Structure 1
Amino acid sequence: MTRRARGLSLLLLLALIGGLTALLWPAPPPIFQTRTMPLPGVLAARCDEFTPRVEEPAEGVFVAIGYDLANTIVLRTSAGNVVVDPGMDLARAALARDALLARSPGPVLAIIYTHSHIDHVGGARAWISDGPPPQIWATDAFTGHFIKQYEALRAAESRRGEHQFGRSVGPELLPCTALGPTPDLDHAGSTGARMPTHTFSGLQTLRFGDTEIELHEAHGETHDQLFVWIPARSVLLPGDNYYAAFPNLYTIRGTSPRPVRAWIDSLDRMRRLAPEHLIPSHTLPLRGRDTIAAALTDYRDAIAWVLAEVLRGANAGRDVDSLAASIGLPPQLADKPALTELYGQIDWSVRAIYGAELGWFDERPEQLYPQQDAAAREVAMMGGPPALLREVEAALARDEPRWALHLLAKLRAAGSPDPSPELNIRALQTLGEQTHNSNGRAYLLEAAIRLRRPVAPFAVAVDDELRAGLPIDLFFAAMGARLMPERAGAAHESISVHFRDTDDHYVVTVRRGVAEVVRGEPLPGTPTPLASITTDTDTWKRLALEQDSAAWALLGDHLDVDGSLLDLRRFLAYFRRGA
């Protein structure tokens, strides 16, 4: 068989793995052209803080505020600059870079990632010149957390991320997030992220010229978080373990449970340092040892209070719904501006903590075996869909959008077609415009927009250097979720993939609707492979990212197949294509 014939057959290799997609996408023109209600005052006041500027809160420490969702911080040393959190997208990162280097000219010696969220790493390439490349520092856990959003739950996390950041919502309704300017979604397709060149666990001390910098692993908003301490200047950079809003103990874009107890411990370790300057990666710097001590103490006490209230309630036998509805901050914390629920939200946090501690079951026996047609029966008891829709109209007239959304959800759960999408749009938009939590606001308004029109997916343009840094395991990790059991329910077959450059070997098995990926020797009971693929890791990544075709790989002697092409084609058809 010719290489060209093999190339055509092997186009189906793309079914094995999907191209990477972004958490954020370019925004189409907004549907809501004018604001129908004033922006909630507390969010409007926060947005006013993000006028782009560079401040020097401590000698030789410069922070670019208001250029992007996260602050970028430059530490000046006698040998050059150290950059902490280089921004999200290249266009805004370049603006912040120019403003910062105007205040602190010199070479960039190192880049420090406080954690792996894209708003803290996507602008790295803007800080890398033609000279000696800077060191890039992060915790050992960085890589796993950076790539996990592109694995099995890539589609769900991406979709939810679009909603949380209001991809399609215009600046009239979402002028900022509570932590910084609204992300520049128009430029998010060209990521400048770079993988770390140096990682550590625990404590790492660095020296650049006359400056000693300590990196402390400090789990909190993520499991790969660190904080930066400059002892001689008494400057603490907490990353996202502190910002001026109730902490995001649970993010509605979806993630594994955040380590609440470790977050409290990280804050206590920061308090022990007694810093004179606190420069977070979101919101404004704080000055003064007493002011900072009070802020960090209030922050950890707020987290500890919510955790303890959940545990006390669970021990008392209270269900998660009643806990989420009733838990708030105690009087000594409730009026603190830095604990306003502008970004994190207490009831969301309560549900996440309860689930992390005890799982989904909250002792209500009726939850074990729920009535499957309950919604349909309830709608019938209300007088049927027409009566329910009349109450939805009345609820909106009474300015009760939550009740309207509840009733409309009941109608959908009953299996009734929605006769009036406009009611849902009105309810979502009304509630969204009343919401001061920027994540909740964005999610509701984005959901309203998507009821009017679909929003096309968008892919990140991964450049050569970032592609080289991505681990090959990423490109196998999502296969279990991409298998279509309706096609593969009776199959028990395998293929093998060998990489020339690393001498790594993978075996992919489909066994009665379950996909199994094994690195190395196949497990006992694995059938003889239908076909064996030999290639190099970069070719595999190029194919996965759709940067080149299988025909190109074959014609260039980058890829070979030994075995039945027809069987290989049938095997690959078990896996879902695309996003």
Structure 2
Amino acid sequence: MARLPLAAALALVLAGCANTPAAPMAAGGVTATTAARQAAAASALDLAAPRSFEAARRGLVAKPTGQVRDETGRVVWDYDGFAFVQGEAPATVNPSLWRQAKLNNEAGLFKVTEGVWQLRGFDLANVTLIQGRTGWIVVDPLTTRETAAAALAFARQHLGDRPVSAVVYTHSHVDHFGGVLGVLTAEDAAARKVPVVAPVGFMDEATSENLLVGTAMSRRAGYMYGALLPRRADGAVDTGLGKAVAAGRVGILPPTVVVDQPHQAMTLDGVKFVFHNAPGTEAPAEMTFTLPDLRAFGAAELVSQTLHNLYTLRGAKVRDSLAWAKYIDEALGYAGDSDVMFLQHGWPVWGHDDVIAFLKTQRDTYRYLHDQTVRMINAGLTGPEIAEAMVLPKSLETVWSSRGYYGTVRHNTRAIYQHYMGWFDANPANLDPLPPVDAAKKYVALAGGADAAVAAAQKAFDAGDYRWAAELLKHVVLTDATNTGARELQAKAFEQLGYVAESAPWRNFYLSGAKELREGPPPPALARGVPVDLLRQIPIDTFLDAMSARLNGPRADGVDLRVDLRFSDLGQTHGLWIENAVLHHRPKPVEGRADATLTLTHDLFLRLATGRATAGELVASKDARIDGNPLALAKLFGLLDKTPGNFPIVTR
């Protein structure tokens, strides 16, 4: 994900809402303005250009059908879920995005080159299989155990039943490692000493990226990936990077081989690899690799069949566009002799000249956005002004892989502004602005009341100015979330903006906002915590940092509390104490006398701290013992906020 530092997409898996049945949307029709914009978009590009489709279908061995289900029978993945994406673009989808959606719909097992196959359309990302001397080298085993197992089983059905002889994680996003237990069990990996290769920093990033703010990222990821939208022409059609994120069990196997050099050669099951670290590009820990004997380049997510995100809309740290461009430029040197380049999203690029051209246009797209944003920053423009003014040169704008199907020119330029300048635009009026709801009330009053503001928004809507209509109605809805007329009109404005969006995440955000306006937020049951298989790999200090961030500071004001946690199975003691309404912790007993000491196993603590185990289970468990005052423990855990993860976004 492609994506959560757990991958462009762990947040969606954490929400547990991919493939969740969605109530039908009360969708509005396409306005004349929207129809005209769709026609203009269709005429601006050669949508019938066949080369991309030829590449997306090249090497097809077999196509999957049916569904992947988990052990309870729940659908984890539906191969035919987007079967409606065919033919000409419907009026409710940007024609350029529809083209990308059709390309991402080309699912199956594909031969890339001699000894290399890919399974595409089994999850958000691709899994790459490289034939070793004794078995399969699996590159990026998808998001979930179920989809990874289905992909490998499908490959074995057509290519032969070979064991997994090595696993390679190209980077730290969950759609590239979360399904590893579906292709290789921990017991089998240990017994056969199967190498698991990853870039330096992988484990830290893979297990901790979304731990602190994972709840918020999960909620927003549901918007970004259209998790609750129906799969149809007025709902979810694509993510821009792939079809969707699978909703199954997420796990991890810790790496046994770490690539910690800029360029590092090694042989895996008889196949020569040269790994190339590219940290801080699409992921904090990322690497590409070349296969010299096969004249092939595995580009990971350094480049994609779309403009990528410098800032991902689900929420994340901003990525460094200058460093990203420089790493692609470096790849031109070490991958320049390759005859094929395969990606971990989308379809490969064949031919030496085409590989070079692809790398150059991706490099120059990120570099152009960087340099021109910086130029305009120094001319005094703010982030929104730069986003409105930025246009790629024709030589880049007309290249399919530079189109904004996932990232966009507009939000990427804002990200570059944020990277260098932060949130403040230097206008003193924006130094201490009113919070959104307070400001909204004053704006609505200034407009002459809600009825006048809604009337003005209706006039803007009728004129096709949906951005302004949405802006006006934002204030009305924030002022009074029960104003059904304002909510419905804003939903209609969001729909029109979503229909014309070339970016799938933008479309999904708009249509998800419309759905919330009409139906309210999703039920709390859809919000889940970090999978236990991942939590077990998170260092206790890191987990306690996240636990400290759940402390309700106002309620903890004046509290003096000291607790020791003894992990009987790890031989570790961590001291926790509250001081100045801050929950501190150290990997040693607290100073002075602890109010209580809780001795328990690591697994029981994780279940207790994440709400998977109750206080009653703790007291009854043979794996736990409480010494001292048990009320001190109850007080500590009672001061930790429990967030359901279904907070409203547009209705507040």
TM-score w.r.t. length of structure 1: 0.89
| Mapped contact 1:24–1:162 kept (Cα < 8 A) | no
| Mapped contact 1:195–1:470 kept (Cα < 8 A) | no
Matched residue, 1:244: 305
Distance 1:104 1:225, change over 3 A: farther
Distance apart, 1:492 and its partner CA: 2.6
Matched residue, 1:230: 291
2:375 paired residue among 312, 315, 321: 312
| Mapped contact 2:148–2:179 kept (Cα < 8 A) | yes
Counterpart of 1:312, as a letter, is R
Structure 2 unmatched ranges of 5 or more: 1-10, 30-90, 645-652
SS of equivalent to 1:348: helix
Matched residue, 2:207: 147
Distance apart, 1:554 and its partner CA: 4.9
| Mapped contact 1:223–1:259 kept (Cα < 8 A) | no
SS of equivalent to 1:478: helix
2:444 equivalent to 1:379: yes
Higher RCO, Cα 8 Å, sep 6+: 1
1:344 paired residue among 407, 418, 424: 407
| Mapped contact 1:109–1:135 kept (Cα < 8 A) | yes
Q: How do 1:380-529 and structure 2 match up within 5 A?
A: 380-412=445-477, 418-420=483-485, 421-451=487-517, 452-456=519-523, 457-459=526-528, 462=531, 466=534, 468-520=536-588, 522=590, 528-529=593-594
**Deviates most, 86-95 or 347-356:** 86-95
Distance apart, 1:282 and its partner CA: 0.7
Matched residue, 2:131: 76
Matched residue, 1:63: 118
1:178 paired residue among 237, 240, 265: 240
Matched residue, 1:128: 184
Distance 1:170 1:370 in 2: 38
Distance 2:638 2:270 in 1: 60
**What per-residue deviation string (whole Å, max 9, x for no partner) do you get for residues 331-376 of structure 1?**
3212111101110011211111111112122222322244676544
Distance 1:541 1:368 in 2: 41
| Mapped contact 1:31–1:449 kept (Cα < 8 A) | no
| Mapped contact 2:440–2:479 kept (Cα < 8 A) | yes
**Deviates most, 310-319 or 235-244:** 310-319
Matched residue, 2:24: 31
Distance apart, 1:99 and its partner CA: 2.9
Counterpart of 1:427, as a letter, is A
2:96 paired residue among 38, 42, 52: 42
| Mapped contact 1:246–1:344 kept (Cα < 8 A) | yes
Distance 1:53 1:33 in 2: 34
Distance 1:233 1:531, change over 3 A: same
| Mapped contact 2:561–2:632 kept (Cα < 8 A) | no
2:321 equivalent to 1:260: yes
Distance 1:492 1:554 in 2: 24
Distance apart, 1:21 and its partner CA: 7.2
**Deviates most, 270-279 or 197-206:** 197-206
Distance apart, 1:105 and its partner CA: 4.1
**What per-residue deviation string (whole Å, max 9, x for no partner) do you get for residues 434-454 of structure 1?**
212011111121122222133
**Deviates most, 142-151 or 32-41:** 32-41
SS of equivalent to 1:256: coil
2:262 equivalent to 1:199: no
| Mapped contact 2:608–2:614 kept (Cα < 8 A) | yes
Distance 1:157 1:119 in 2: 15
| Mapped contact 2:282–2:302 kept (Cα < 8 A) | yes
2:351 paired residue among 277, 283, 288: 288
SS of equivalent to 1:263: helix
TM-score w.r.t. length of structure 2: 0.79
SS of equivalent to 2:540: coil
2:337 equivalent to 1:271: no
Distance 1:285 1:244 in 2: 9
Distance 1:20 1:57 in 2: 30
**What per-residue deviation string (whole Å, max 9, x for no partner) do you get for residues 91-112 of structure 1?**
3323321232322542111111
Counterpart of 2:275, as a letter, is L
**What per-residue deviation string (whole Å, max 9, x for no partner) do you get for residues 208-233 of structure 1?**
34311122221211111111211111
Counterpart of 2:311, as a letter, is Y
Distance apart, 1:384 and its partner CA: 2.2
2:164 equivalent to 1:108: yes
Distance 1:30 1:227, change over 3 A: farther
**What per-residue deviation string (whole Å, max 9, x for no partner) do you get for residues 251-271 of structure 1?**
000101213232122212211
Distance 1:332 1:527, change over 3 A: farther
**Deviates most, 451-460 or 43-52:** 451-460
SS of equivalent to 2:175: helix
Distance 2:341 2:120 in 1: 14
1:543 paired residue among 608, 614, 624: 608
SS of equivalent to 1:62: strand
Give the length in aligned residue pairs: 554
Distance 1:504 1:125 in 2: 28
Distance 2:466 2:216 in 1: 26
Distance 1:540 1:577 in 2: 16
| Mapped contact 1:20–1:460 kept (Cα < 8 A) | no
**Deviates most, 154-163 or 260-269:** 260-269
SS of equivalent to 2:554: helix
**Deviates most, 311-320 or 31-40:** 31-40
Structure 1 unmatched ranges of 5 or more: 1-18
Matched residue, 1:165: 225
Counterpart of 1:28, as a letter, is P
Distance 1:449 1:364 in 2: 35
Distance apart, 1:123 and its partner CA: 1.8
Matched residue, 1:14: none
**What per-residue deviation string (whole Å, max 9, x for no partner) do you get for residues 118-174 of structure 1?**
221222122116753632221232222222344221211111111111111111022
| Mapped contact 1:532–1:562 kept (Cα < 8 A) | yes
| Mapped contact 2:118–2:126 kept (Cα < 8 A) | yes
Q: CA RMSD in A?
A: 2.6
Distance apart, 1:250 and its partner CA: 1.0
Distance 1:568 1:192 in 2: 30
2:274 paired residue among 189, 214, 222: 214
| Mapped contact 1:189–1:459 kept (Cα < 8 A) | no
Distance 1:466 1:321, change over 3 A: closer
